Amino acid sequence: MSISVRIPTPLRKLTGGADEVAVEAANIGELIENIEAAYPGLKERLCDDAGEIRRFVNVYVNDEDVRFLDGRTTVLKDGDEVSIVPAIAGGR
């Protein structure tokens, strides 16, 4: 199934400037692999050496952080919207 993925500004160099790309995937792990196949270099920006999503990269499925769903095994269904959002470092 086709999932639309929103790409944040700092990563658009890797998607040829596209702010949104469509990827086939049944879960988040697969989505990351397939996005890497289409746009090489993206995976190392999103995941650490162990393949875990980096701490300051937030991946949302329809506005819910996948950390609070099932992480990389979070199941995707047709029409889901995935957003990649770098965490904003800031503080009081």
Partner 1 sequence: MNIVRALKCRECGHEYEIEPTHVCEFCFGPLEVVYDYDKLEGIFTRELIESRPQTMWRYKELLPINGEPTVGAQNGFTPLVRARRLEKVLGVKELYIKNDSVCYPTLSFKDRVVSVALSKAVEFGFTTVACASTGNLAGSVAANAAAAGLESYVFIPHNLEQGKVLGAGIFGTKIIGIEGEYDDVNRLCSEVAGKYGWAFVNVNVRPFYAEGSKSLGYEVMEQLGWKAPKHVVVPMASGSLCTKVAKSIKEFIQLGLVEDNGTAIYGAQATGCSPIAKSVKESTDLIHPVHANTIAKSLAIGNPADGYYANRIIRESGGWAEDISDEEVVAAMKLLAETEGIFAETAGGVTLGCAQKMIESGKLPRDESIVLCITGNGLKTQEAVVDAIQKPRIIGASLKEFDALAEADGVK
Q: Using CB atoms within 10 A of its CB, is residue 56 exposed (0-12), middle (13-18) or buried (19+)?
A: exposed
Helix (H, G, I), strand (E, B) or coil at 32: helix
Tell me, residue by residue from 55 to 84, as one string, x for binding to partner 1 by CB under 8 A and - for no binding. Answer: xxx---------xx----------------
Rg (CA), the chain: 12
Which DSSP letter does residue 75 get?
A: B
Minimum CB separation from partner 1 for residue 8, in Å?
9
Neighbours of 41 (CB within 10 A): 11
Nearer to partner 1 by C-beta: 17 or 90?
A: 90
**In the complex, what is the shortest distance from the CB of residue 25 to partner 1, in angstroms, rounded to a whole number?**
22
Site for partner 1 in 5-44 (CB under 8 A): 10
Where do contacts with partner 1 occur on this chain (CB under 8 A)?
Answer: 10, 45, 48, 54-57, 67-68, 86-92
